[in-house]
Structure 1
Amino acid sequence: MTPFHCAATMGNSNLLFHFLEACPECIEDVTVRDETALHLALKNDHIEAFNLLTGWLQSNRRRGANELEKKVINWRDDDGNTVLHIAAIKEQHQALKMLLYVGKYLDITAKNSDGLTSREIIEKVERKCLNMSDATATKIKHIKKGTHWHKRRLTMLVRARNGLSGDMINATLVVATLVITAVYQSSLSPPRGVWQGDNNMYPHHQLKYSSNLRRQLQ
């Protein structure tokens, strides 16, 4: 990286301007990854520095300015990405708008090493965002379902359990066990006076039992 590249990486527009005034040819310098200063400015989200560099290219009146602008604006890094690809990948809408509006020599059909144009990258990003929106909508739907009364009751029970100490939980379990045991035993041993005989014997024995009980009461 040259000092010019460092200035682009830091987004120092003042330094970039002085470099270009002193040595206009530095706009063509590339890093070992074939990145121009425009690539570096975009990759580091320095839109103001990127605007300065592209503005300088468009306002340059030196000999060969048209060829220089066409060359730099469509230059590809080692991944085959032009600045238009970078702007699409990083969803830098301001840079995209500026490039498409003033990019007289911009090659919008250029493909990177993945075989994608900038437009295809934008469409891919949009599909990803749409899928994320669908996933978010599904989560919201599940959360709304939690407002139903039975789910709300379950939530309250879980909250109550989580709010109990260990001793309180043990005591609650003991009480619950006692209650369940009492209910179970009462179901096996019903109160006296309830007839549980065989249905075939029911009329005769019931009458006999009633007569004996009446005599005892008398």
Structure 2
Amino acid sequence: MERRLYRAALEGNVPSLLQLLWEDELVLERSLVGSHSDTPLHIAAMLGHSEFVSKILSLKPELACELDSQRSTPLHLAAAKGYADIVKGLLNTCKEACLVSDKYGRNPLQVAAVKGKVEVLEVLVQVEAEAARIVNKSGETVLHMCVKNNKLESLKVLVGMFGGEDEFIDWKDKDENSALHLAAADGQFETVDFLTTHTRADNHSRNLEGFTALDLLAQSTTGTKEKAIADNQTMSKQTRVSSSSRASKFPSGAYNWKKHFKRQNSWLERMWNSLMVVATLTASMAFQAGLNPPGGVWQDKAGDNSTSVPYTVSIFGHDMPENSNITLRAGNTVMGGSSYGVYFTFLVFNTIGFIASLSIIILLISGLPMRRRLFISVLTVIMWIVVTSMALTYAISIEFLTPLEQYLSFKVISFGILAWTGLMTLLVVSHIIRLIVKALRACIKAVTHRRKRFTV
């Protein structure tokens, strides 16, 4: 008899159900303790047999709250298939089923949203709006699920219902990603355009990695980004015209995402190219200065193997003679022999500039995702260090090459360069402090947000 009952459920055969009930009044009761995990109501709801579902609900309404092996109620199955009439009947019988989560942590409203069943979604939101605010174990709301499954129409329905609730729109998952972050990271231009023009979504908010939605969109953009954005702007306008009944619920003041994105991407491109050119130039200068330092090298024209000269240490014009002589061979630097302190200082700053320049070049051509505002800012700070090192190298060279009779002129030049170097140092330190402060604020905001987070 159990087999006949499930055959009737598969076919949606109400007369067969009534015949079975005439033969055994407890046939529906027996289905609850039988070998099948699904009840006849699960099967009928999944297959869309509305008349059969209505009959079972009238005879045994408690079946509406039963769970199958996947912890799904009949409402889950009907919502996934988009049977609005069956959903309404199940909600009238067991409204609490709208808040039940299945094996995957999804309630019927979330199932309808990720399956794109807009009509069912509207019914569920009207009956039990609280189901839309339930978050899963990853801290995701139904908006996150819509974006992950690329269901823009479902997202529009939810925004139409909850568009004025900023906390719902900007809710973040365990990685501090809002729905806007996920849409930008996945390159869903139309979704990004909709969220930024029809809601007050915070497009400056950062996730745990410190990226805004704009940063993530720049990373996910392909060569066809401009056409995609333009098309999405047009489609968004058409959607707003056809959905004028919901437009009154949206806040005014659209955000010009396309203009902002183009400006951001153009700035990153210019900075990337400028850093590559300047780094290449400074690396060449440092390399040449290292092989041919100021004063040149000793030339042994007389055929001697070496030349002995008094050994002095000179740092910025202050000579400190030593008691011993050093042996200079052909090819040794003149600066290193006559003023070792000056030469050592020159070598240190020149090497710093050379290595820093090479580091920038390697990072830019490494293929790593360096075209982000944060990385470009770090490379800019490194470039400041390079330029400062080259300026100090220049000052040391001028000090060595300037005759003692013109020492006053040298002093003026040296003080000017040192003042400029101090300014550059101040800028570098200021930016480092700024980065530290931003990191601390992000950490504090993340901790505060997690404390305020609600769970159901």
Give me the TM-score of the superposition, normalised by structure 1.
Answer: 0.51
CA distance, structure 2, for counterparts of residue 83 and residue 109 of structure 1: 13
Match for residue 199 of structure 2? 103
Q: Secondary structure at the match of 1:78?
A: coil
| Residue 35 of structure 1, aligned match among 133, 137, 140 | 140
Divergent runs of 4+, >6 A? 127-131
Q: How does 1:1-218 map to 2 (within 5 A)?
A: 1-58=106-163, 69-104=165-200, 106-126=201-221
Code of the residue aligned with 1:92 in structure 2: it is Q
* Alpha-carbon displacement from aligned partner over 1:76-135 (angstroms, at most 9, x marks no partner): 11221101101101111111111111222x21111112211101111222379899xxxx
Q: Secondary structure at the match of 2:165?
A: helix
CA distance, structure 1, for counterparts of residue 155 and residue 208 of structure 2: 23
* 1:88–1:22 distance in 2 versus 1, CA, 3 Å: same
Code of the residue aligned with 1:81 in structure 2: it is N
Code of the residue aligned with 1:55 in structure 2: it is G
5+ residue gaps, structure 2: 1-105, 226-368, 370-456
Code of the residue aligned with 2:173 in structure 1: it is D
CA distance, structure 2, for counterparts of residue 15 and residue 126 of structure 1: 34
Do the aligned partners of 2:181 and 2:216 also contact (CA within 8 Å) in 1? yes
Q: Secondary structure at the match of 1:30?
A: coil
CA distance, structure 1, for counterparts of residue 160 and residue 129 of structure 2: 13
Over the aligned positions, Cα root-mean-square deviation in angstroms equals 2.2
Query: Structure 1 residue 3: deviation in Å?
Result: 1.5
Greater share of strand? 2
Code of the residue aligned with 1:13 in structure 2: it is V
* Alpha-carbon displacement from aligned partner over 1:171-213 (angstroms, at most 9, x marks no partner): xxxxxxxxxxxxxxxxxxxxxxxxxxxxxxxxxxxxxxxxxxx
CA distance, structure 2, for counterparts of residue 41 and residue 11 of structure 1: 8
* 1:89–1:30 distance in 2 versus 1, CA, 3 Å: same
Paired positions, count: 121
* Alpha-carbon displacement from aligned partner over 1:49-70 (angstroms, at most 9, x marks no partner): 1111112213xxxxxxxxx711
Code of the residue aligned with 1:25 in structure 2: it is E
Query: Structure 1 residue 39: deviation in Å?
Result: 0.8
5+ residue gaps, structure 1: 59-67, 132-218
Which of these two proteins has the greater Rg computed from alpha carbons? 1
